[in-house]
Amino acid sequence: MNPNIKVIIPAYNEQDSIGHVIADIPNSVAEVIVVSNASTDQTAQVAASAGATVLTEMRKGYGYACLKGMQHIAAQTETTDIVVFLDGDYSDYPEQLTEIVRPILEQDVDMVIGARDARFRESGSMTKPQIFGNWLATTLMRLFFNAKFTDLGPFRAIKYKSLLALGMEDKTYGWTVEMQLKVLKKGMRYTEIPVKYRNRIGVSKVSGTLKGAIFAGVKILGWIFKYSFKK
């Protein structure tokens, strides 16, 4: 029996990219859920026209959008096996979803991170603060938790039952690192798959602004230090 895979895409003003993202998602996916996160453009309309289920979350925040998508899945009667998180800016290659879910299906791991490997990264697709922030966060996780993560990449897959067991709560930029830290704390199995990465369509709402970059960095480090001293 084929697994039931749902994709959650948080999107804030991604009208120029969201259609491309949805079009490149493999047909094996049962449902694509786009959460328009207080968008003021045509993101919702474009996503709906492309065949996605569209939700609206007016509270700004990456985590808020992801939690909205999870609420939608929880309200369904059908069983969901795997949830994939994917950004709406077309910087990732959605067709690599098949590679990302494979370790869950074939090796029974709980979570797979799409690691933005420098070998497959388009020039300029990640800013220097992003690269440094990823290095710092993953280095601290290695020191404190003996983790093997190399990236906080947003393109990731996780067993639905494992996702529920994490009790996710971050509402903004700490969502990705919270998930990885809780997977470590609960002793879940994880791995990484190198993925390609390209320059996004439009301007980043996080790395594209000084305020966003600083806030994201503070949130990420806050989660790491919180879990470092939590028994």
pLDDT digits (tens, 9 = 90+) for 97-150: 999 999 999 999 999 999 999 999 999 999 888 888 888 889 989 998 999 999
Q: CATH number for the domain including 27? A: 3.90.550.10
pLDDT digits (tens, 9 = 90+) for 57-74: 999 999 999 999 999 999
Closest by CA position to 97, among listed 205, 199, 19, 3: 3
Q: Which residues pair with 156 in a beta bridge?
A: 85, 113
Residue 180: domain span: 5-228
Are the C-beta atoms of 15 and 52 separated by less than 8 Å? Answer: no
pLDDT bracket for residue 207 (50, 70, 90) = very low
Are the C-beta atoms of 25 and 97 separated by less than 8 Å? Answer: yes
**H/E element, 67:** helix 62-74
Query: Distances in Å between the alpha carbon of 30 and those of 8, 79, 106, 117, 131?
Result: 11, 11, 19, 28, 33
What is the number of domains present in the chain?
A: 1
